[in-house]
Amino acid sequence: MNGKSSADIWREFVQAELKNKSKLGTILTPGVYGGYENKILTIYFSDDVARKAAQGQLKSIQDKLRQYQLLCDHITFTTGSIPTTATPVTVSHKSHNPLQALYWVEPNLPIENDATARMRILNATVEAEQTCNQLYIKLKQRTQNLAGGEENTIRVSFNWRVRVGGTRGFRELLLPVLHPVFGIPYIPASTLKGAALAWAKKHGGSNEFKDLLGMLNGNVAKAAKVEFLDAFPCKPCLSIDVATPQWSWQNNQVMYKPEPHPLISLYQPEFFIGLRPTTRGDKDGVKVVKEWLENALRSGIGSRVSSGYGRALGEIPHFQNYQSYSFELWTQGIYGSHPPSKENKYQGIPEFRPTALRGILRYWFRAVALGLYDAQICQKLEEKLFGKLGQQGQFSVNTKVNSSNKINPYLYTGKIYVEATDQKYLNLAEKLLILASNLGGLGRGSRRPLHLLNRRMRGCHWEVMDTDLPLPYDAKEWQKLFEELQQAFQAVQAPIGSYTSNPGKPRQRQQDVLDKNAQIWLLQSPSQIAPDKVNNWETEGDRPNVRGTALNLLYSDIRFKGESKGQGNPNVGGALETPSFVWIKSIFPANNPSYQVITIFGTDHPERQAFAKELKNQKAILVFGQMQSGKSPIPRKYNS
């Protein structure tokens, strides 16, 4: 963008239109620049009339901005004052790179609103990097010259986000590693060498890596024959990211408390990596080390690799124990740091996030494990399988995703790769994936089938496909899954037992558990149609044949539907800040009538008992748990 920020380009564009006395300039004058990320431009207007006028000129605006080298796949026109957290920070003329932006913005930060301060830092950092394109071009050429030619370089692209290095900075922000001279994100040579060395040690089977990469053993040192160069992106890639754990351990209980933590990662970056021989080395040594590094990059680089970060574009797992599944996801939208705002509930920047898949598997792991083990064993097993800070887990889940042009709902298809260090861990991970995909959804709206509610897209539809998936409407097949799931847990952590846990109460929710107070029902929904059969979501999305039999039952009875505007029941359908105690999933088996799966947690509660009885009246089949006896549940003490 010729060294100019996206904000500068927008202002220049509007001023040029005004100078030419064009109609477009008059329309856009009331607009306020709100940010530009992933080729999505956000503009705010104070009223709906001005917003609609600008919206009507969308194609013309996109075409003209292209002449200014500001490419916009989408422009979001929003009504309302620009949120504080989205306010762009105009980077000082002194701030030519992200590292400088961090230093220049710090003295002016308010102390009273820490969340606002964090976002200002992040916005300033991302905005500054947009001006560094020419620097990236020069550094690429420099790397190639130092490496002695293209044959000694590696060009690698990543399919999602990358997080390398990082330190705690202003306001305790976890920042990516930024070059101390150039001030831009990079992969230090030491990180690349460490990755190549780790791969060579694991797969080399000889001491060749000591000769090529050098060694230090006490007083004995040996110089390397191959030198690694710092690797820089080929173009701007910094992006605001977010980590939002929803469930966390507190005093041997898993409590619901979503806490978004904004951070910066590299979005779909492309790196140019160079190697060269030292005075002791030669081109043959570089060739060997280059192969080691390429193999290491296929396994992923940086932190949170098991959550989908740092995976090279197009690479499939290289572990011996892995399995792949095709998947399809229709969703109201998965969002990172730019969800729909209070000012505009319909606008946001959707993004398929592999971390959502890992998060839902962790949720269902706890749902099963807390019914089989005490809380302390469950927590240790969770850390062992999923990993923790500084400790790699026993399995990981990654994706290759194809997005489509569909909006409201969004559609993603692709592959899910489950990897593990041992066959028993792979078996457990697979069973959790099958359970999760047959009981609920993925990401926002995971507890409900995809439908329209009050003219808003709600829920999602997720299918994991294999020879025997999705499961048929057959009690024996479902019971077989539960038996195989228990056997998989038994193989990983014996002995298994029987424990009871409390799902909590409204606004004090605890982890849902598949214990003796949980039930899973199958209810036929023969007239229901799959999302791809809906011709027009705006007119058909709230129809009974889209919602399905079970969701129609839940919504039609004030005793069960979620609480909204003082009506409904938070003890069944949930409420604001209270996840529903009921999951409903639509299943569309091949060549068989559709049905819905209803999971109820804490059925010893009388109001949830009443919903279970209604399902029984509808001739639903109970495939997990048992009906509570008597009119009132016997009070019990819950184990954590």
pLDDT at 110 exceeding the cut of 60: no
Domain that holds residue 72: 6-82
pTM of the model: 0.80
Give the residue from 79, 88, 126 showing the smallest Cα distance to 10. Answer: 88
Which percentage of the chain shows pLDDT scores above 90? Answer: 48
Residue 351 in tokens: 């993004």
Residues 289 and 368 in one domain: no
What average pLDDT does this structure show over 63-76? 87
Inter-residue contact 231 to 294 (CB < 8 Å)? no
Residues 247 and 346 in one domain: no
Q: For residues 100, 13, 56 and 38, what is the CA-based torsion angle, rounded to 10 degrees?
A: -30
Decide if 350 is inside a domain.
yes
CA distances, 570 to each of 335, 449, 450, 519, 635 (Å): 25, 19, 21, 18, 20
The residue to which tokens 């004030």 are assigned: 558
Residues 62 and 122 in one domain: no
Q: DSSP assignment of 105-157, as one string? A: HGGG--SS-HHHHHHHHHHHHHHHHTT-HHHHHHHHHHHHHHHTSGGGEEEEE
CATH assignment at residue 51: 3.30.300.180
Decide if 1 is inside a domain.
no
pLDDT at 131: 85
Residues 445 and 514 in one domain: yes
CA angle 370, 384, 501 (to 5 degrees): 10
Q: Find the helix packing angle between 375-386 and 354-369, rounded to 10°.
A: 150
pLDDT at 208: 80
Decide if 497 is inside a domain.
yes
pLDDT at 39: 86
Residues 384 and 249 in one domain: no
Instruction: Give the whole-angstrom CA distance, residue 1 versus residue 72.
Output: 13
Residue 596 in tokens: 């819905």
Inter-residue contact 209 to 194 (CB < 8 Å)? no
Residues 61 and 208 in one domain: no
The torsion angles phi and psi of 311, rounded to 5 degrees, stand at: -95, 130
Instruction: Give the whole-angstrom CA distance, residue 429 versus residue 407.
Output: 31
**Residue with the larger pLDDT of the pair 471 and 202:** 471
pLDDT at 216 exceeding the cut of 80: no
Question: Within 10 A of 505 (CB to CB), how many other CB atoms are there?
Answer: 14
What does DSSP say about strands 261-267 and 451-453: parallel, antiparallel, or unpaired?
A: unpaired
Instruction: Give the whole-angstrom CA distance, residue 561 versus residue 573.
Output: 5
What average pLDDT does this structure show over 212-217? 78
pLDDT at 204 exceeding the cut of 80: no
Decide if 312 is inside a domain.
no
Residues 121 and 204 in one domain: yes
Decide if 101 is inside a domain.
no
Residues 292 and 407 in one domain: no
The residue to which tokens 């089949």 are assigned: 621
From 307, 330, 362, the end of a domain falls on: 307
Beta-ladder partners of 321: 420
pLDDT at 309 exceeding the cut of 80: yes
pLDDT at 259: 82
pLDDT at 35: 81
CA angle 461, 464, 465 (to 5 degrees): 125
Q: 152 by DSSP, 3-state: which?
A: helix
Total structural domains in the chain? 3
Residues 126 and 220 in one domain: yes
Decide if 100 is inside a domain.
no
Instruction: Give the whole-angstrom CA distance, residue 570 versus residue 560.
Output: 8
Decide if 114 is inside a domain.
yes
Environment class of 441 (CB within 10 Å of its CB; exposed 0-12, middle 13-18, buried 19+): buried
pLDDT digits (tens, 9 = 90+) for 165-186: 765 555 456 678 888 889 999 9
Decide if 251 is inside a domain.
yes
Spell out a b/e string for 165-194, using b for 16 or more CB atoms within 10 Å of the CB, else e.
bbeebebebbbbbbbeebbbbbbebebbbe
pLDDT digits (tens, 9 = 90+) for 546-559: 999 999 999 999 99
Instruction: Give the whole-angstrom CA distance, residue 567 versus residue 430.
Output: 40
CA distances, 172 to each of 121, 146, 166, 168, 365 (Å): 11, 37, 12, 5, 31
Inter-residue contact 367 to 514 (CB < 8 Å)? yes
Residues 193 and 150 in one domain: yes
Instruction: Give the whole-angstrom CA distance, residue 254 versus residue 246.
Output: 10
pLDDT at 637 exceeding the cut of 50: no
Beta-ladder partners of 325: 416
Inter-residue contact 136 to 184 (CB < 8 Å)? yes
pLDDT at 464 exceeding the cut of 80: yes
Residues 330 and 460 in one domain: yes
Residues 152 and 67 in one domain: no
pLDDT at 105: 60
> Mean pLDDT, the chain, as a whole number?
86
The secondary element (H helix, E strand) that includes residue 542 is: none
